[in-house]
Amino acid sequence: MAGMTDEAKTDAAKTDVALRSAHVLVAVAGGIAAYKAAEVVRGLQKAGCDVRVTMTAEAEKFVGTATFDALTGHTTLTGLFETGHDAADPIAHITAAGWADAALVVPATANIIAKVACGIADDALTTALVALPADVPLLIAPAMNVHMWRAAATQANLKMLASRGVRFVYPETGRLACGDVGEGKLAPVEQIVEEALAQLRRSHAGRPQPLAGKHVVITAGPTHEAIDPVRFIGNRSSGKMGFAIAAAAVAAGAEVTLVAGPCTQPTPAGVTRVDVVSAAQMYAAARSVFADADVAICAAAVADYTPAHPADHKLKKGREELDHIDLVRTTDILAALSADKGDRVVVGFAAETNDLIANAQAKLARKGCDMIVANDVSRADSTFGSETDRVTFITAAGSEELPTMTKTQVADELVERIARLIR
């Protein structure tokens, strides 16, 4: 818990106590990153979880069952006809699925992702996953070759699983075991553990739904402002934060409409998604939905300017030199929604590279919203596309800085504070 405030450490300790009865089924597939599953198991155990492991025959080529037997104190489940933890249990894969409060696949290969997406159950691991009760959350941490990750089939399977409520800890970009460079590197162990614990917190029995009966509109991702049919002005926003907020709001009981700019994030289960491209389209969609909403969260990175005269054809070098672009301001979505909010809640985001607090406080006053979520995008742990954020919540009452957290954790924290604002 390095870098956390004393209050945050106390809260984390309380959460760990609450999770000491939690059962986590860790499914280990046959990838080179399988050895890191042992570290994930230890991380979950440090938080107080009881962990059992199931693994494929291919995974055993990388890590032996003795490792997980010793770490967990449970017999590792590897075969459909093995008795597993209880020698008197003839169908151990069904028992393991019913025992679990949450399940985690780490590492998840393209093959395992495809099997789970299609409901294929041809070994102990996949059968246990297919047998999971509907209310048991499933988290998948993929790791594979970059081309396998980018394959159309893999991406389609990810979207299919996301539509069913499955969550992911997306892989990082880096040098892979095969020598290729690109997406596919397993996410950091600490991040996987934190995401798994967040899943457990969300699914904890009796978890309150502070946004029940509320309609929340969220903007996410970038906007693309056309120069011509090929070129555009854009930014580096991935949409990950907005999509994480949408998932957290649904978990808190809200009806959620997500207005998404061009991005490839899978739509969280239970979320109504409206796809847009330009700032003008995002403004029109958000304004329309907000007319019937209780809360607006403007997490999108909307372009401040758009070309005044976009061409209706591709501009050709040599004939139509693109030596300058006349720009006009786009409509300020956050300010427009804040002006019409009445007693409703509107939250904005501020991505800054310097003078974080001062700039965010000025934005809060200028826009007229209820809260600004400020993050320093010059930091490696809080930049566009990262899996973590280090944010500060700014309100008229003051500022509250959080430690570096996963986007899922930040989203949960934000939802909690929005519930307070509503109350």
pLDDT at 204: 61
C-alpha–C-alpha distance, residues 10 and 241, integer Å: 26
Same fold for the domain at 21-203 and the one at 215-307+327-422? yes
Evaluate whether the domain defined by 215-307+327-422 bears CATH number 3.40.50.10300. Answer: yes
Q: Is the pTM of this model over 0.85?
A: no
- Catalytic choice (178, 263, 298, 369): 178
Q: What is the block-wise mean pLDDT of the chain (423 residues), using blocks of 10 residues?
A: 42 47 90 95 88 95 94 89 56 86 95 96 95 92 94 94 91 82 90 89 66 96 95 92 91 93 85 96 98 97 95 87 89 97 96 90 96 89 79 94 86 93 89
| CB distance 167 to 196 below 8 Å | no
Taking the C-alpha atoms of 296, 170, 273 and 417 in order, what is their torsion angle to the nearest 10 degrees? -20
| 263 in active site | no
pLDDT at 83: 54
C-alpha–C-alpha distance, residues 95 and 88, integer Å: 11
State how far Cα 103 lies from the chain centre.
17
Spans of all domains in the chain: 21-203, 215-307+327-422
Each as own residue / partner, the long-range contacts of residues 311-320 (CB below 8 Å, 24 or more positions apart, any chain) are: 311/227, 311/228, 311/229, 312/228, 312/229, 313/228, 313/229, 314/228, 314/229, 314/230, 314/231, 315/227, 315/228, 315/231
In CATH, the architecture of 21-203 is 3-Layer(aba) Sandwich (3.40)
